[in-house]
Chain A
């Protein structure tokens, strides 16, 4: 069974810092990995989707990388802003079966002014 772990569980930083959030998974036979943002009391908003054949994806100040062989993905946030405060979740879609995405517990990020 695929296990997804996110480190750190929580992070509090001053505005302007560059951040790295980590996602690791136990089964490297994945199809894709998706990063989401969740604001309190809200659903999940997709940030970036990386296919298994890709190494990274970029959107604005966000960059996500994927290293399947080591079972890791990182989400890099450049020049963090208070509006980036949210919980960040990664979800891994595994090979075989019905391709059900498995989620980590998330990293709770607070960016203070």
Chain B
């Protein structure tokens, strides 16, 4: 089995552009998390899915950020009208079930640079 896959690996956007970041979790994993990591910082929580249900989106910084997981597998994080402060690494993680004792498995991230 493949691990968590994220694409693109790097994305450069002009300010005001919309971007879409993709996450392919490990097959069969129920839980999916998105995190934002600024340079030199720890990952900050954005949103959480259990299958197709978005159970927590309290970390999304503004209404320009939107995430979906329509079929309970692949997830997309969309950022509208990108701003320079959106520049960061966006990490996706998945875990097998919803039990609290489950490990997180991370992808390599998408590095977003907004010019």
Q: How large is the interface on A (under 10, 10 to 19, 20 to 34, 35 or more residues)?
A: 20 to 34
B111: chain A residues within 8 A (beta carbon)? 41
Q: Which residues of B contact A43 (CB under 8 A)?
A: 4, 6, 91, 106-109
Task: Name the CB-closest residue of A to B42.
Answer: A103
Q: Is B43 located at the chain interface by the 8 A CB criterion?
A: yes
Q: Which stretch of A44-52, A61-69, A78-86 is in the interface?
A: A44-52
> Quick one: given A32-B100, A44-B91, A93-B100, are A102 and B107 in contact (CB under 8 Å)?
no
Q: Is the CB of B103 within 8 A of A46?
A: yes
Of residues 1 through 60 on chain B, the ones whose CB sits less than 8 Å from some CB of chain A are 4, 6, 33, 35, 40-45, 48, 55-56, 59
For B, the interface residue count at a CB cutoff of 8 angstroms equals 26
B105 at the interface (CB under 8 A from A): yes
A89-B43, A105-B40 known; 7 new pairs, CB 8 Å cut-off, are A4-B42, A6-B42, A51-B101, A91-B43, A98-B48, A102-B45, A103-B42
Residues of A within 8 A of B (CB): 4, 6, 31-32, 34, 36, 41-46, 49, 51, 89, 91, 93, 97-106
Q: Complex Cα distance A31/B42, Å?
A: 20
